[in-house]
Each structure stands twice: as C-alpha cells, then as structure tokens.
Structure 1
Amino acid sequence: MVPNERTTFSDMTVRTSGRIGLGQGTALLVGAVLGPGMLVLPHLAASAAGPASMLAWAWLLALSVPVALTFAALGVRYPDAGGVASFVGLAFGRHASAVAGWWFYGAVPLGIVAGASVGGRYVEATLGVHGVLAACLILMAAFGANAAGLRTSGGLQIGLVALLVALLATAVIAAAPHIDPVNFTPFAPYGLAGVAGAAGVLMFAFVGWEAASHLSAEFADSRRGLVRATVVALAAITALYLGVSIVSLGVLGADMPGVPLTALLETGIGAVARPITGVVAVLLTFGAINTYIAGASRLGAALARDGALPGWFARGGAPGGTPYRSMGLLVVLSLPVLIWAVDLDLLMRATSACLAAVTAAGVAAAVRVLPAGRHRNTAVAGTGMSLVALAFCGVHLVVPAVLALVALGMLRLSARRPLPGARG
C-alpha cells in the first residue's frame, strides 16, 4: 500500500533489473496490498460488526476483483504511467490530478502514525515496552533512515511481505483446529450498520492494486504476465484475508484482544509465539513506514513542482536526490497526529477514507481512458463498487474533502504567484 522512489503515487513496486517473472510479479502485487494493518484489522472489524465482519471482508474482496483487473488493464495500455494521479490527470485534468495527489500525501501522516501505533501495540503486549514509546521510536527510526538516504530495497520489501504472509498463514493453520462455532453467535449484533462500519476501517487493507499499473513493462510477457500475476495475487489475498477473518473470529470471538495474531499463534503453538510476533511486528511496521515516507516525500516534491504545494518544497525531488523539505513537512504534519490522535480505529478510518478516494478516482479515470469493451465494462463495475465502498467511510470522508480543498487552494495560489523576473 505504500509508494517508493520509482513512482509518484501509492504503490509498493520496486526497481527491477531486466524482466520479472510470475513469482516476483505476484510478490510485488501482494506486497502492494498486504501491509502491517493486518496485525490489528481483524480486531477493529470485529469490534464494529461482530462475526458479521466476515461479510465486510467478503464484500471488499469482491470489490478487489474489478479494481485489480482495471489497474492491470491500465498497466498494459499505459506501461509507463506514473501513478493514479497520472491517470486522473489524463482523464480529468490538472486540478483533479492535484487532488488525487493530496489525498495520498495527506493520508501519509495518518497512515504512518497508525502503522507505528500497530507496531507499538504489539511491542507492549509481547515485549513489555510502552506502546507509545515504541511507536515514537519506530517513527524516529524511519524518518532518520530516509534522511540518511537508507531506503527499503526491493529484495527487503519482498522479504518483509514473505514474512507477513508466513505469519498470517501460520496463525491461521495453527489456530484453525481450535475454532468454536459458539463464537459466531450472535452473528450480527450491530446489524448492517455494523457491517458498513467494518468495511470502512477494512478499506485500509484493500488499497494498493494500482501497483499493477506500473508493472506491465517489467514482465517478459508484458501483456499476459501482468494479468496472470494479478489473478494469482487476488487468489492469495483472498485466501489470506478470509482465513484470518474466519479463524480469528472462530477462535477468539468478537471480543478478541487488540493483538489478535499473537493470541492466535499462542493458541496454536504456545507462549513462544509472544516474543516472536513482537519482533516481527517491529520489522513489518518499520519497513512499511520507511517505504511510505520515501515515496511520500518524493510525491510532495512533485506536488510542489506542479504547483500543488509551494515551490520551496520541490527541492531535492530529482532522481537521486533527497527531498528534505518535503520530508520535513511530513514530520510537521505527523507530530500533531501522534500527540492528539490516540485512537487507532479513528486513524485507520481516516486513512482508509483517503485511500478509498484514491482508488475510486483511479477506476473512474479508467472509464474515461480505456477503450470501449470488456476492460471499460470492468472499470465501470469497479467504479460503482468503489463508490459504495467509499460511502462506507461515512463521516470520515471529511478528511479527503478537506484535502481536496487544500489542493485546489494551493493551485489557485500558484496561479496567482508572479513568474520569476516579472514586474508588478
């Protein structure tokens, strides 16, 4: 779900030398969608909807199919695209592109604090270190690594994805024999409103399919390779997400602890799982936040270059440079979030609203730029389903609405700014 220096938007693709095969392409796509939010999302969804949260998981998995295939189609047709903002700009113009860029850039302070809080929660539960202190240390380490130019390599990204997949799969397989049907009753204690609320927070785990749009040119078979990798990634994500949601509810119940994977692993393999999951949580959250910051700081420089931020922030955004000013702005924006937003559920819902808006804008742009036929029809279906999912975000849509106003305001100020050398 996170960007890097190769793109200007929210993916987790990496620089690759030569052509990539089905296995690596699938790993990159799974990594773009799967993130450390999975360490806590089963708990948040169950708190909102009880066992009926499984319906929210299933709905969003169904949404992923047209969305993922639409971005794969965009990747085949526009293999050198720079991100969702590029598609939105191509379809709807410069102002819409700036808004889409700000939806992601503004979500980053919320997302990285949420991610650090997830890591901190696991550290406190498993290693005894205070959660807020652990979250602060993870954030400081990630910003420090980026300031020093130490960014997550492609190989390390894939390794962290493999670690998370292994952790989820082990938790599901080890704990599954302990499922108790009683834990699925009452099934829907909060009704459909609860299911919608669960879907709103779970959007955090279902963005990132736009990564497909950047991978087409990297495949040896640039047309079928991307589609095949997308289909395999969809199957892997479906198996993992359904497995985690069903087993966590069946074993732990709707009142599961805030660190459900630790509880599942302890149920399946014993107390030895406790310190292991603490260390794994730190690695996963640091890797994701480090990559988030790397890409977002470059996105900020690009926004400044294009007039959606003051031009002063554009410095350092060239290839090989370090955009310290944009990175500094991310620090400034993250501090109040860290200080005042202590509710992890609120942070994830606000982040989800922004990223859901990004996804909806991307598939809507595909309706405009893809030729008539099967792919456009898929994009239409994806757009309709994305708008429904966006509605599940409810009041938290105020966050992307405010960010849209900021983006448009910045563009207006940029248009009024006199050109260098101009005289009044």
Structure 2
Amino acid sequence: MRRGLGLREAVSLGVGGTIGGGIFVLIGEGATLAGPAVLLSFGLAFLASLVIAFPYAELSCRYPLTGGGYAMTRQVLGKHWGFVMGWVFWGSYVFVSGYVVVGFGEYLSALTGMPATTASLLLVLACAAVNLGGVKLSGRWQNVVILLGIVVLLTFAIVGTASLHGDHLTPFFPTGLSGVAAAALVTFLAFGGFDMVAAAGEEITEPRRNLPRAIFLTLFIVLGMYVLVALAAVGTLSPAERAAQAPLARAAEELFGPAGGVLMAIAAVLTTAATANAVLIVTSRISFAMARDGLLPAVLARVSESTRVPWAAVALNGVLFSVVAVTVSIPIATTVGGFLYVLHFVFPLVVLVVTRRRRLPRNDDDFRVPAVRFLMPLAFAACGALLLTSGPVGIIGGSVWVLVGIICYSAVLARQNSVNDSGMTRGRDWTRWQKPRGKRL
C-alpha cells in the first residue's frame, strides 16, 4: 500500500472515526441509559481504552500492517486464529457503521427534511466515491471536516458549561450503577478511533514513530472533547430531550436559538460523514488483508493500479453498510457492535503476551508497554467487564456473527483441502481462494 498518511492525517483518521458517531449519536444513547452519570461512564470507558491502547501501540510498532489487530494476530497465532479475529474485527465495524450512518441520516433529515434512510444511503455512496479516489484524498477530506467539527463543538461546550441548568444534573444516578455500567459499553465504543489508526498502519509514514503518537493523541483529544460536550449537553437538555432525535442540535438551539441548532446539525452531518468514511477505510482494509492472506475470496484483494486502493473491498463494504443502515436500529447496532468490538481486543492482548514470552525480535526504538505486569491484567479485566455489560442482545447477536464466520471458514478449508488432495474440483475453481488473479501487493 502507498504510505500517504502522516501524523496529522493519522490523528484525523482516529479522531474522525471517533468524534462523529461518539458525540453526535452515542451521547444520546449513553445519557438515556445513565442520565448525568454518563460523565462517569465516559471516564470509565477512557480508562479501559487507555489500558488496552498501550499493548496496541506496542504491537502496531512491531507489525505496521494493513488490517491492524487482524494482521498482528495472524502473524503470531497463525491463520486460523487470524481468521476468527479478523472476522470479529470486521463484524464490529460493520455494525458500528449502522449507528454512524443512521445518525447521519437523522441529522440530515432534521436539517433538510430528506428521508433519513435516503440520506444514509447517499452517505454510503459518497464515502465509497471518496475512498476510491485514494487514501491521500480521503485523509485531506478528514482534516478539513474534523477541524470544522471541533471548532463548532468547542464553542458549544464553552457556552454550554457556562450556563448549566443545575436541576438537569439531578438526580445524578437516575438508573443507579447498573445504568453507568450499561452506558460504559456505549461510551467505550465511542473511543473506538485509536484502533482505526493501527488498521491503516501500512499507509502511515514512519509508522514506528507516528503510530503510537497517533493512538495516544486520538484518545486524549477525544476525552477532552467528550467530557466538555457531554457536560454541556446533559446540563442543557431535560431527560426527555436527551432521548430525542438529534440531541446536540436541540441543545444548541436551546443555547443559541434556531441558528445554533442549524449550525450544530451541519457540524453533525459533516463529522458523522467523516466517521463513516473512517469506518469504511477500516472495514475495507480488514477484508482486503484477509483476502490477500487467502482467508476471503481473492477478488477482495484486487487493488487499483492508479490509486493503490482496494476497490473491490471498498465496494463490498459499501453494500454491507447500506444493508445495516436499512435493517438495523441504533440500539441493536451499538449493542452487537459493542460486544464484537470489545471481543476483538482480546486477541491482540493474547498476541502481546505470546510475543513477549517468545522474545520475538524488535527494534530498540519501538514503543514498549510500561509496567506490563500491572497493565496487562487490567486490560483483560476491562475487556471481560465490558463484554458482560453488552447483555443478552449483544452476546447472542455477536455469537451468531462469530458462528456464521466459523461455518464459512470451515467451508473454505474443506474446499482447499479438496483441491490439495485431488488437484481439481468440480465446477468452480476454488484455487482462487489461495491465488488471487488480480493485482497483489
């Protein structure tokens, strides 16, 4: 892949993949579950993200490859575990795309009156077009959009925190600690940009220096934005308004009048679009990497000779985004996507343990996890706690996705074994799973 993303573009990719969906869509979901205590949920989610980000940063230096955690897992644990991890990783972001794209549709509908579903589908089409134009074009677009979104959100946060309604912050725990725990999964999902950076590792310049920096900068920038904006939102909106469509647009209208609501809706449209673009980059690179390794159909490994973009993988994921946007609600998308998203972090944590025990070679200037004996157990515990908070819907939905993947992979292995044993099969030539006919990298 072409290394066209510098530190700024990498941070923009991470922040863009986090802020749009996290603030404009998930803040309403989190406040509905926990009330004003969603601020505590954001803090817990940040701590969980931070302890997981440390091992992720070390591994991204060792394996700066397209596919992020999937590439790391396959490299160390082998192709079978690599497939399971890649399938979980891919599925998590396919479901994540649901709340991002639907959230975009709701804000654009509030702004223009266009049907939300139509707006969502148009966004998927636009993101696919931008991605097909090349990673440099995509990265520049992210920079412009995220800068605008940050300016609008900071203005809202400063004014909103200066004019809080104290009665809106009480009771602080309307649903108790169980509500805080349930909202922790949603808010953890909102911090999901740092692994997007690693997933595009093969396209980032000076990866050993820029990848760890981009990962931690993404987390701290997003934390500051979330705390300020969440405080302004819950202090401005009543409990009923927090659960309504386009909650931040309503809050801005309370503070600045109708013009403020319109400006916030415009910022929401732009930043959720940036998030959708970042998610499409990640999902297409995951499926591309798996196809390149012979774990998915070889057609997904085809790359444009002019832009070096995996066009087939971009097209497939655009179709999947459209299906999820039309068929899945925001609560289901966040619950199932959250379960899969947390689960996919378990694999890189195991990879780091195995890597350290095998004493695999590394560069002396690579980032290393400090206090590893303390942080690694915390990272595993954080993943376990978040998996439990996803509840029956998340656990069942995520398990079904994993089961479908195992069935598909078993069929692929059976076909490959048949080819190896007989030298040919009836009907379709399944050797394409192993030897892509298109351009390989």
Query: Which residue number corresponds to residue 390 of structure 1?
Result: 387
Q: Aligned AA for 1:392?
A: T
Deviation at 1:187, TM superposition (A): 2.0
Question: Equivalents in 2 of 1:318, 1:382: separation in Å?
Answer: 41
1:352 to 330, 338, 350: 338
- Residues 1:337 and 1:232: Cα distance change in structure 2 (over 3 Å): closer
What is the RMSD of the two structures over their aligned residues, measured on CA atoms?
A: 3.3
Question: Equivalents in 2 of 1:388, 1:318: separation in Å?
Answer: 45
Question: Equivalents in 2 of 1:142, 1:216: separation in Å?
Answer: 18
Question: Equivalents in 2 of 1:349, 1:383: separation in Å?
Answer: 20
Query: Which residue number corresponds to residue 419 of structure 1?
Result: 419
Question: Equivalents in 1 of 2:53, 2:187: separation in Å?
Answer: 17
Q: Secondary structure at the match of 2:296?
A: coil
Query: Which residue number corresponds to residue 11 of structure 1?
Result: none
Question: Equivalents in 1 of 2:10, 2:152: separation in Å?
Answer: 21
Question: Equivalents in 1 of 2:287, 2:262: separation in Å?
Answer: 37
Query: Which residue number corresponds to residue 50 of structure 1?
Result: 35
TM-score (norm 1): 0.82
Give runs of aligned pairs for residues 15-414 of structure 1, distance below 5 A: 15-16=4-5, 20=7, 26-27=11-12, 29-79=14-64, 82-146=67-131, 152-211=137-196, 213=198, 214=201, 218-219=205-206, 222=208, 230-255=215-240, 256=242, 257-316=244-303, 320=307, 323=310, 325-341=312-328, 343-370=329-356, 374=370, 376-377=372-373, 378-395=375-392, 396-414=394-412
Question: Equivalents in 2 of 1:416, 1:131: separation in Å?
Answer: 43
Q: Secondary structure at the match of 2:5?
A: coil
Deviation at 1:216, TM superposition (A): 12
Cα contact 2:71–2:82 (8 A) shared by 1: yes
Cα contact 2:17–2:276 (8 A) shared by 1: no
Q: Deviations over 1:209-245 (max 9, x none)?
A: 235653998459x55x765655544432222111122
Identity %, equivalent residues: 25
Q: Deviations over 1:358-399 (max 9, x none)?
A: 223323322322469835332332222122122211221233
Q: Deviations over 1:299-342 (max 9, x none)?
A: 3243234343344544448895665554454355445433332x
Cα contact 1:184–1:249 (8 A) shared by 2: yes
Unaligned runs of 5+ in 2: 360-368, 426-441
- Residues 1:285 and 1:212: Cα distance change in structure 2 (over 3 Å): closer
Query: Which residue number corresponds to residue 9 of structure 1?
Result: none
Q: Aligned AA for 1:422?
A: G
Unaligned runs of 5+ in 1: 7-13
Q: Deviations over 1:100-119 (max 9, x none)?
A: 21123223443333222111
- Residues 1:121 and 1:276: Cα distance change in structure 2 (over 3 Å): same
Query: Which residue number corresponds to residue 366 of structure 2?
Result: none
- Residues 1:217 and 1:346: Cα distance change in structure 2 (over 3 Å): closer
- Residues 1:320 and 1:218: Cα distance change in structure 2 (over 3 Å): closer
Cα contact 1:57–1:202 (8 A) shared by 2: yes
Q: Aligned AA for 1:285?
A: T
Deviation at 1:54, TM superposition (A): 2.0
Give the stretch that moved more between structures: 314-323 or 296-305: 314-323
Aligned length: 406
Query: Which residue number corresponds to residue 438 of structure 2?
Result: none
TM-score (norm 2): 0.80
